[in-house]
Amino acid sequence: MTNETSKVIPIQSIPYSRSRQAGESQDVLDHIIDDFHDNPESMQYFYDLFRSVYCHGEEVKHEGMLVGTTCIQAPEELIYAFGATPMRLCNGSYHYDQKGAEFMPSKSCSLVKATLGMLNSDNVIPKIGKPDMIVNPTTCDQKKKSSSMMGDMGYKVYDLEFPNVKESEASRQYWQRSVRQFATELRQLTGRKLTKKGLQAAFNKTGRAQAAFRKLHSYRLLSPSIILGKDIFLVTNAYFFDDITRWTEKVEALNVELEARKQAGFKAVQSKAPRVLFTGSPPIFPNLKLPLLIEEAGGVVVADESCSANRMLYDMTAVDEWMVNDMVDSLADKYLKPCTCPIFTKNEDRKRRLLDLVKSFNADGVVYQAFSGCQVYEMEYRSVAEAFNQAGIPMLYVETDYSPDDKGQLSTRIEAFLESMKNRKKQKQRAAG
Amino acid sequence: MSSKILNTVMGMSLLALASTNAAYAELLWLTETAPPKSSATQVADHAAHHHAMHTPTAAVSSTVVTDSGKHDHTGMIVLDETPGKDHRPSKQVWLRRGDDIKKSPFAALDGGVAYLTLIDQAGKKSVVEAGQENGLFTLKAEMPEVGFYETYLEQRSVKEGRLLVELPKIELLWASCQPKEIDEEAVAKPIINDALALELVRIHKEDEGCMNRLVSGDVVNFQVLSYGKPIAGFPVSMVTQEGWRNTQPSDASGTVAFTMIREYFPNWLEFKKYHTDVFLVSAVMDKQEAGALNGQPYISVRYEATLPGKYRPSPHDYRSYAWGLGISFFVIVFGGLAVYLYRRRRLKPYKEERVDDKS
Amino acid sequence: MTNLEDIRTAVNNVQFNRFRFWLQIFFFALLVYGGYLGIELGKHLPTFACGYNKELRGGMCFLMPLQHWMEWPWEKLFSAAALTILYGFTIFFLWFIALNRGWCGFACPVGTIQDWITSLRRWTGIRYSRYSEGQYKGLGIIKWVLLALMFLIPLGIGGGWFTHDLKSPFCMICPGRTVVPLFGLDVSQWSIDFSSRTNMIMTSLGLLVTGLFFIGAFVKKRFFCFYCPMGALHYLFSKAALLRLNKEGAKCTRCGDCYRVCDLQIKEIADDIQNKNIMTDDCIMCLKCVAACPEPGALKATFAGIPIFEATEAGFITRMNKGRTDDK
């Protein structure tokens, strides 16, 4: 018998831009643009980009096949060399986080939940289309396990075997072999061969992008800062999905503008604004919660050690002999050796890097973000705290996730932290001068 | 009077005949080789011995300048040298008589002192007094600089109306392996003694520099000069250690060429790279000159000039390029193959870690 | 001061490979053909300016006179004549401390020849070989063994134990003896000397090593330098030298770029973050590591404490970019 209840009023489909998901991105973007003064003009491109992709749900075009990556350890240059386009799938949307929570354990990392939630949904934003392959480096536990989940969702997943011990020669050989096998896999996927010219062109692209980033990075050394951290995060987050050549050009334009700012002695913040080093779980748009809170409270994020920004673009590849075999092995080494991800057994390199960043950027303090559920970052906190303690650098540890509920509490903590940093600085100056 | 003339004529005619033979038997020459140590046993009567060996026509044979010559037939004279002997700044020379290089006896000079002239590369002359050692004439020549020194001895005596002027000469060398330390041109220039009536000069090889590098198989050029001027068409003789003898007339520029023959045929395992063979080059000139020496008159003069030299086995005897290239080619080919196969083993995956019962 | 800064920047951003290529040619011409122009730098050079290249050389490798002296009879060796040896060592030392092991990386003719062979290999597209860790550790002792033998064998000659034919034992096995005179069109060293058993063995060994040298240098960058006793001798004095390779551990990200480009596979450059002076006994101071380091100030070459070539971002980008675009 027919059910009355089966007569359901159909929900009118609404355009994406009016969905709650888009609203989330909209709010963050508006906040970034409107609530801060003197945004650099070159940033307009990035604002428009995010608006079109995240708020309007416009399509993101790509060349050749699409290879999705879930971690920065997947060698992009190889993907470019085969004529495909890599895109980082790591997602920062609370909407997808909630979606993912439906089938993920409750104590999972928000990032993985959001990524899986995104991949599981019908309407994937950013609208990149279905990836022809997803490369999943076996880095952290949750990424590892999501590999089969992604497979079940209907994606072609390739497990890129990544070692967990950095120091041993065995790991290095293992990883080089993984990368070479990945190259073989890509050849099967794309049906193209790996040529020296193709690989050199790929190196060119990423090399240029890395050089542009390094220049941008160097502008953040200036004190008082000439650009805010929120913009930098936006720039690096754009790298996930934007066309690399265009991205590079826009960053180079930004650099030109920053040079002009430098010459003019422009100040983006107050002279006494506390300089903060941001480290830990990666802030991905729209989840720029913590950096925005810091900068709202009057601080400035001058440097960061996170995989959605600095770590993604900082390390450059050196090659001795420009032949395919040496280029691929050099690439493998570059992705493994300088990596400061906490998924490794030891974290000596990360500590040294943090200390070096604090010193060169003249940071006053460190904010360490760990997503709840991110076992590795949480566990590393202790040793990093000890290192900073010995160096006499104040650190704020924040355990949070994508939900906006703890904004108020965090804001208070951050303000207090910044205040204490200011006081320490004053005391130091008084003691010195 | 007529017997005298007859004697002279006979003497002169026999000169041509015998000049190739007996004249050489009594040649006086200088040598660097030391006498054997057993020359303590000195055998008597040099003069008697020599007279017994040769024709009674005394005119053709030059008498020994000294009569109390002591010599030793029995001691074997060792001619081998240790390498590097040429690299010292002082040399000792002895005098020997007779052209049997292996057996000719060491001589002494009696009657006071003998003087030797040394001429260095710059043409500077110095006169050194000879001495005696164990009754034998000897001279220790000090060479102030690296290079060649020509050492001359002059002995005059009159016998049966003929003045015999013996002009043994020896080329001494303070050698140097450093081509940079020496002036190659100066060293290559032959040193000539203008005051001598008869002189033999060895023309150095082009790349000789400051080393004694004569080897068997080399063509060695000598020039025969009189008072510094070359003499053409003059017979020059060479005798080698084993007794091989060759006489050649000099060409228009006074040059004679001899090829050093190989005389060293040892057991292969006993082959010595630095084995030295000695040769002796000599020239004899007769002139009709009259005069007197110490009251003794003479009507003809005979000049005898000698020049010894040393040479070593040719590198072609013991050096092989074929082997050298063969070995390196072999190593390159097989070594290269080995490396290639070794590199290919990388295609076999990770078998390097092994565990077995013993470990 | 801006002038100094400009010079510094120009030096740090130089196209390093090209610069090194031309500097090596200059030293090669000087040491192998210098005699033609009357240049004589003496017998105490700390590099393989082979003494067997008799006519044309511009100076002589110190190992030749050194072995010659060690061969003196002991009475002479332990007498006042030893002052000559002391003098010789002093001159050697003075030459050495100017460039430290840069003599190896920039001046050594045998090193330059190996670099040319490497270029040939690159042109053919054949990849290079690396030693495994075990091989590296094991084979690294050979240079010290050769250094010891280089002293002990001549001493044995002087003491009367060994035949004189064993003179200059290292020269007999050195590839410089056979290869450098070739550039003066002198092939006399390529013969086997049958005049005595020892000579036979030594000359055969020498040509064996020459054969191995060619193969090794083809597949391995700077193959012979790993076994070179001159290098071992250098290392004994290297702490006193003026030219140094310094590292600032705090700036190092351990990216391993320096290790990747190092011809001698020295891992310590990348891994050691404690020491300031990171020159190991294998290092030939070619400074490729400094050229390949992307972290400003992490690696630098200093002369008497003054940095003369530092790692900079701009320099790295220029150099690596050149590789990306046109194969040098």
Q: What angle do CA C299, C301, C305 make, to 5 degrees?
A: 115
* SS3 per residue for A378-409: HHHHHHHHHHHHHHCCCEEEEEECCCHHHHHH
Chain position carrying tokens 């972290």:
C295
Burial string for A225-240 (b: 16+ CB within 10 Å, else e) reads bbbbbbbbbbbbbbbb
- Condensed to tens digits (0 to 9), the pLDDT of residues C206-253 reads 999 999 999 999 999 999 999 999 999 999 998 889 999 999 988 898
| Beta carbons of A207 and C324 less than 8 Å apart | yes
Burial string for C112-146 (b: 16+ CB within 10 Å, else e) reads bbbbebbeebbeeeeebeeeeeeebeeebeebeeb
- Give the residue from A24, A240, A13 showing the smallest Cα distance to A122: A13
C129 touches chain B (CB under 8 A): yes
Please list, in sequence order, all residues whose beta carbon lies within 8 angstroms of the beta carbon of residue B312, skipping any fewer than 6 positions away: B214, B215, B216, B273, B274, B275, B276, B277
Question: Cβ atoms within 10 A of the Cβ of C182, count?
Answer: 14
The minimal CB distance from A353 to the residues C133, C253, C292 is found for C253
- DSSP-H helix ranges across chain C: 2-12, 16-33, 63-70, 74-77, 82-99, 102, 109-124, 133-139, 142-158, 169-173, 175-179, 197-219, 229-237, 257-261, 268-271, 288-291, 313-326
Residue B338 covered by a domain: no
For residue B350, give the H/E element and its range: none
Please list, in sequence order, all residues whose beta carbon lies within 8 angstroms of the beta carbon of residue A43, skipping any fewer than 6 positions away: A231, A234, A235, A254
Q: Measure the CA–CA gap between A429 and A422, rounded to whole angstroms.
A: 11
Chain position carrying tokens 């080698």:
B240
Q: What percent of chain C has pLDDT over 90?
A: 58
- Condensed to tens digits (0 to 9), the pLDDT of residues C175-202 reads 999 999 999 898 889 999 888 888 899 9
pLDDT band at B182 (very low <50, low <70, confident <90, very high): low
Q: Which residues of A touch C257 (CB under 8 A)?
A: 316-318, 330, 333-334
- DSSP-H helix ranges across A220-243: 229-238
Chains interfacing with C (3 or more CB pairs < 8 Å): A, B
Pair C12, C312: CB distance under 8 Å: yes
pLDDT at B57 over 60: no
Pair A130, A100: CB distance under 8 Å: no
Residue B343 covered by a domain: no
What is the predicted pLDDT for the residue at A3? 55
User: Measured between CA atoms, how close is C38 to chain B, in angstroms?
Assistant: 9
Residue B196 covered by a domain: yes
Residue C4 covered by a domain: no
Search chain C and give the residue with CA nearest A351. Answer: C250
What is the predicted pLDDT for the residue at B226? 86
pLDDT band at C78 (very low <50, low <70, confident <90, very high): confident
B273 touches chain C (CB under 8 A): yes
- Give the residue from A215, A234, A211, A208 showing the smallest Cα distance to A40: A234
Domain that holds residue A332: 18-432
The minimal CB distance from A356 to the residues C251, C261, C313 is found for C251
Q: Measure the CA–CA gap between A418 and A96, rounded to whole angstroms.
A: 32
- Give the residue from B26, B19, B16, B78 showing the smallest Cα distance to B47: B26
What is the predicted pLDDT for the residue at C167? 86
Residues 80-109 of B with CB under 8 A from C: 83
Search chain C and give the residue with CA nearest A210. Answer: C317
C214 touches chain B (CB under 8 A): yes
| Beta carbons of C191 and B329 less than 8 Å apart | no
Of A317-326, B63-72, C265-274, the one with minimum mean pLDDT is B63-72
Of A358-367, B103-112, B210-219, the one with minimum mean pLDDT is B103-112
Residue B354 covered by a domain: no
The minimal CB distance from B180 to the residues C40, C190, C203 is found for C40
| Beta carbons of C195 and B325 less than 8 Å apart | no
Pair A198, A82: CB distance under 8 Å: yes
- Give the residue from B325, B207, A155 showing the smallest Cα distance to C203: B325
User: Which tokens is A300 given?
Assistant: 């400035």
Q: Measure the CA–CA gap between B56 and B259, rounded to whole angstroms.
A: 35
Q: How does strand A275-280 pair with strand A300-305?
A: parallel
Residue C264 covered by a domain: yes
The CA R_g of chain C, rounded to the nearest whole Å, is: 21
How many domains does chain C fold into? 1
Please list, in sequence order, all residues whose beta carbon lies within 8 angstroms of the beta carbon of residue A129, skipping any fewer than 6 positions away: A59, A60, A62, A66
Residues 244-263 of C with CB under 8 A from A: 249-261
**Over residues C113-135, mean pLDDT:** 91
- Condensed to tens digits (0 to 9), the pLDDT of residues B283-307 reads 888 888 888 877 788 888 888 888 8
Domain that holds residue C286: 240-326
What is the predicted pLDDT for the residue at C120? 95
- Give the residue from B238, B210, B212 showing the smallest Cα distance to B224: B238
| Beta carbons of C292 and A349 less than 8 Å apart | no
Chain position carrying tokens 């390739």:
A158
Residue C317 covered by a domain: yes
How many domains does chain B fold into? 1
What is the predicted pLDDT for the residue at B71? 37
Residue C279 covered by a domain: yes
Return the half-sphere exposure (C-beta side, CA atoms, 13 A cut-off) of residue A401.
20
The minimal CB distance from B328 to the residues C55, C199, C207 is found for C207
Question: Cβ atoms within 10 A of the Cβ of A6, count?
Answer: 6
pLDDT band at B19 (very low <50, low <70, confident <90, very high): very low
Residue B284 covered by a domain: yes
Residue C195 covered by a domain: no
What is the predicted pLDDT for the residue at B20? 44
Dihedral of the alpha carbons of A92, A97, A98, A100, in degrees to the nearest 10: 150
Residue C247: CATH number of its domain = 3.30.70
Question: Cβ atoms within 10 A of the Cβ of C186, count?
Answer: 16
What type of residue sits at position A416?
A
Residue A386 covered by a domain: yes
For residue B106, give the H/E element and its range: none
Mean pLDDT (chain C) is 90
Q: Which long-range contacts (CB under 8 A, 24 or more apart) does C308-311 make?
A: C308/C11, C309/C11, C309/C12, C310/C8, C310/C12, C311/C12
- Give the residue from A150, A121, A115, A133 showing the smallest Cα distance to A74: A133
Q: Which residues of C touch A349 (CB under 8 A)?
A: 253-254
Q: How does strand A275-280 pair with strand A365-371?
A: parallel
Domain that holds residue B261: 2-317
Residue B346 covered by a domain: no
What is the predicted pLDDT for the residue at B78? 52
Cβ-based interface (< 8 Å): residues of A facing C: 167, 169, 200, 203-204, 207, 211, 214, 218, 315-323, 325-326, 329-330, 333-334, 337-338, 340, 349, 352-353, 355-356, 359
Q: Measure the CA–CA gap between C317 and A404, rounded to whole angstroms.
A: 42
Residues comprising chain C, all counted = 328
Search chain C and give the residue with CA nearest A336. Answer: C255
Phi and psi at residue A72, in whole multiples of 5°?
A: -70, -10
Peptide bond into A286 cis (omega under 30): yes
Q: Across A98-170, where does the E strand assignment appear?
A: 133-137, 157-160
Query: What are the pLDDT tens digits along chain A (433 aa)?
Result: 555 556 667 677 777 878 888 888 999 999 999 988 889 999 999 999 999 999 998 999 998 999 999 999 999 999 999 999 999 999 999 999 999 999 999 889 999 999 999 999 988 888 888 999 999 999 999 999 999 999 999 999 999 999 999 988 889 999 999 999 999 999 999 999 999 999 999 999 999 999 999 999 999 999 889 999 999 999 999 999 999 999 999 999 999 999 999 999 888 888 889 999 999 999 998 999 999 999 999 999 999 999 998 999 999 999 998 999 899 999 999 999 999 999 999 999 999 999 999 999 999 999 999 999 999 999 999 999 999 999 999 999 999 999 999 999 999 999 999 999 999 988 888 888 6
Mean pLDDT (chain B) is 72
What is the predicted pLDDT for the residue at C311? 92
The CA R_g of chain A, rounded to the nearest whole Å, is: 22
> What percent of the residues of chain B are helix, what percent strand, and what percent coil, each to the nearest 5?
20, 35, 45
- Condensed to tens digits (0 to 9), the pLDDT of residues A201-242 reads 999 999 999 999 999 999 999 988 999 999 999 999 999 999
How many domains does chain A fold into? 1
Q: Measure the CA–CA gap between A362 and A222, rounded to whole angstroms.
A: 9
Q: Measure the CA–CA gap between C111 and C227, rounded to whole angstroms.
A: 12
Q: Measure the CA–CA gap between A295 and A233, rounded to whole angstroms.
A: 12
User: What is the count of residue pairs from B and C with beta carbons less than 8 Å apart?
Assistant: 74
Burial string for B12-21 (b: 16+ CB within 10 Å, else e) reads eeebeebbee
pLDDT at B311 over 80: yes
Q: How does strand B255-259 pair with strand B219-226?
A: antiparallel
The minimal CB distance from C192 to the residues B272, B273, B327 is found for B327
Greater pLDDT, B356 or B343: B343
Q: Which residues of B touch C192 (CB under 8 A)?
A: 319-320, 323-324, 327
First to last CA, chain A: 89
Chain position carrying tokens 């104590």:
A107
Residue C256 covered by a domain: yes
pLDDT at B50 over 60: no
- Give the residue from A224, A216, A220 showing the smallest Cα distance to A265: A224
Q: Measure the CA–CA gap between A155 and A69, rounded to whole angstroms.
A: 12
- Give the residue from B27, B63, B69, B41 showing the smallest Cα distance to B153: B27
Greater pLDDT, B209 or C164: C164
What type of residue sits at position C56?
L
| Beta carbons of C212 and B335 less than 8 Å apart | yes
- DSSP-H helix ranges across chain B: 2-19, 22-25, 46-53, 184-188, 315-318, 321-344
**Over residues B108-114, mean pLDDT:** 61
**Over residues C311-320, mean pLDDT:** 90
Residue C321 covered by a domain: yes
User: Measured between CA atoms, how close is A256 to chain C, in angstroms?
Assistant: 16
| Beta carbons of A352 and C127 less than 8 Å apart | no
| Beta carbons of C187 and B321 less than 8 Å apart | yes
Q: Which long-range contacts (CB under 8 A, 24 or more apart) does C194-200 make?
A: C194/B271, C194/B318, C194/B319, C194/B320, C194/B323, C195/B271, C195/B272, C195/B273, C195/B313, C195/B317, C195/B318, C195/B319, C196/B271, C196/B272, C196/B273, C196/C163, C196/C165, C198/C163, C198/C165, C198/C166, C199/B273, C199/C165
For residue B254, give the H/E element and its range: none
Q: How distant, in Å, are the alpha carbons of B19, B221, B236 from that of B257?
A: 20, 4, 10
C124 touches chain B (CB under 8 A): no
Residue C283 covered by a domain: yes
